Amino acid sequence: MQIVAKGLTYTYDAKSPFAAQALRGVDLTIDEGEFFGIIGHTGSGKSTFVQHLNALIRLTGGSLQVGEFDLADKKCDLRALRRRVGMVFQYPEYQLFAETVEKDVEFGLKNFQKELSDADRASAVAEALETVGLDYESVRGQSPFELSGGQKRRVAIAGVIVTKPEVLILDEPAAGLDPLGKKELMELLHAIHGGWCKTVVVVSHDMDEIAENCTRAAVFEKGKVAMCGAPADIFRRADELAEMGLDVPVTARCARILRERGIDVDTNFTCDDFARKVIALWEKGGEGRAQ
């Protein structure tokens, strides 16, 4: 499903003294198959935007097409849309509620696919839990509240992917995890991506994460898309990002200093690629000297 937003606007608490315009005309296209990143500091409108994608916030201005769903159409089948566009909120483990892991994960399924037999439902739950790296038999009967923080988050994600949404949106999915937990989570998303899950959209403050994982990214600033493109193209504009109060990856900061000193590192800003390119420069320099 392709996502096309045109001139999207949204105001919180409209007609009240606290009215705050969160979106001021967002134009953005996310193609099917992308691993798309959304960057921007708090209050830039990124969360408001993603909540539009499965109609948690209803369209009030502009247009939004998600696959065949026209969100401006009052008769748009929201149930069908939400089944195909899954949303993982920030700190989704805070939304765990059921007595057992199994009951928590199957909740969405029971609501979206009432027709499923018990056996089919159990196997879907098992598959979702295995996908997030948990052993179905050993966790199914446990209370989700007795699990570790990282496991809780996995259960919460399983509860969203159990319906196999074609588009999966995650708001800061790795926030608060330790470095290895972050890495494992991104690997998990890559493993899902390309199968039944065609498109992944991640909101993140971690620029290195964006550089290392995304096909393209959009930078939100004051309710608009300020930049959109491959991470390499975005992070080359480090000065502009800094002006917006955003961080840039360590590699981009380093590349900028090197450029000022006349050394051009042509990198996509992932750590491995950056190291490779620097080593190549060094080896070339060495050869030059040898000749």
Partner 1 sequence: MEAVRFDNVKYSYREDEDTFAVNGVTLSIEQGEFVAVLGRNGSGKSTLAKLINVLLEPTEGSVQVFGMDAADPDLTFEIRKNTGMVFQNPDNQTVASIVEDDVAFGPENIGVPREEIGRRIDFALDAVGMQAFRHATPNRLSGGQKQRIAIAGVLALLPKIMILDESTAMLDPRGRREVMEVVKKLNREQGMTVILITHFMDEALQADRAVVMHRGEVVMDGKPEEIFARSDELETYNLTLPRAAYICKKLRAAGMPVGEAFTAEELAEEICRSLQKA
Closest approach of partner 1 to the CB of residue 204, in Å: 10
- What is the DSSP track for 50-95? HHHHTTSS---EEEEEETTEETT-TT--HHHHHHHEEEE-SSGGGG
Closest approach of partner 1 to the CB of residue 245, in Å: 6
Instruction: Answer yes or no: are the C-beta atoms of 138 and 130 closer than 8 Å.
Output: no
The closest alpha carbon to 153, from 93, 230, 110, 97, belongs to 93
Please identify, using beta-carbon distances, which residue of 120 and 264 lies nearer to partner 1.
Answer: 264
Task: Determine what percent of the chain falls in helix, strand and coil, rounding each to the nearest 5.
Answer: 45, 20, 35
Instruction: Answer yes or no: are the C-beta atoms of 191 and 131 closer than 8 Å.
Output: yes
Residue 205 interacts with partner 1 (CB under 8 A): yes or no: yes
The closest alpha carbon to 101, from 160, 148, 163, 145, belongs to 145
The length of the chain, given as a count of residues: 291
Task: Determine the interface stretch with partner 1 among 70-78, 133-141, 144-152, 159-167 (rule: CB under 8 A).
Answer: 144-152
Task: Determine the interface stretch with partner 1 among 7-15, 59-67, 132-140, 268-276 (rule: CB under 8 A).
Answer: 268-276
Q: At what angle do helices 149-161 and 101-112 cross, to 10 degrees?
A: 20
Positions in 228-247 near partner 1 (CB under 8 A):
245-247
Helix (H, G, I), strand (E, B) or coil at 172: coil
Task: Determine the interface stretch with partner 1 among 62-70, 119-127, 158-166, 266-274 (rule: CB under 8 A).
Answer: 266-274
Residue 291 interacts with partner 1 (CB under 8 A): yes or no: no
Interface residue with partner 1, options 6, 176, 191, 266 (CB under 8 A):
176
Interface residue with partner 1, options 27, 232, 254, 268 (CB under 8 A):
254
Residue 152 backbone dihedrals phi, psi, to 5 degrees: -55, -45
Please identify, using beta-carbon distances, which residue of 121 and 253 lies nearer to partner 1.
Answer: 253
Residue 282 interacts with partner 1 (CB under 8 A): yes or no: yes
274 Cβ contact partners less than 8 Å away, ≥ 6 residues apart: 251, 254, 255, 265, 267
Please identify, using beta-carbon distances, which residue of 91 and 112 lies nearer to partner 1.
Answer: 91
The closest alpha carbon to 271, from 207, 176, 201, belongs to 207
Residue 180 interacts with partner 1 (CB under 8 A): yes or no: yes
Task: Determine the interface stretch with partner 1 among 9-17, 68-76, 160-168, 254-262 (rule: CB under 8 A).
Answer: 254-262
Summarize as ranges the residues that interact with partner 1 (CB under 8 A). 41-43, 91, 148-150, 175-181, 183, 205, 208, 245-247, 249-251, 253-254, 257-258, 261, 263, 271-272, 274-275, 278-279, 281-282, 285-286, 289
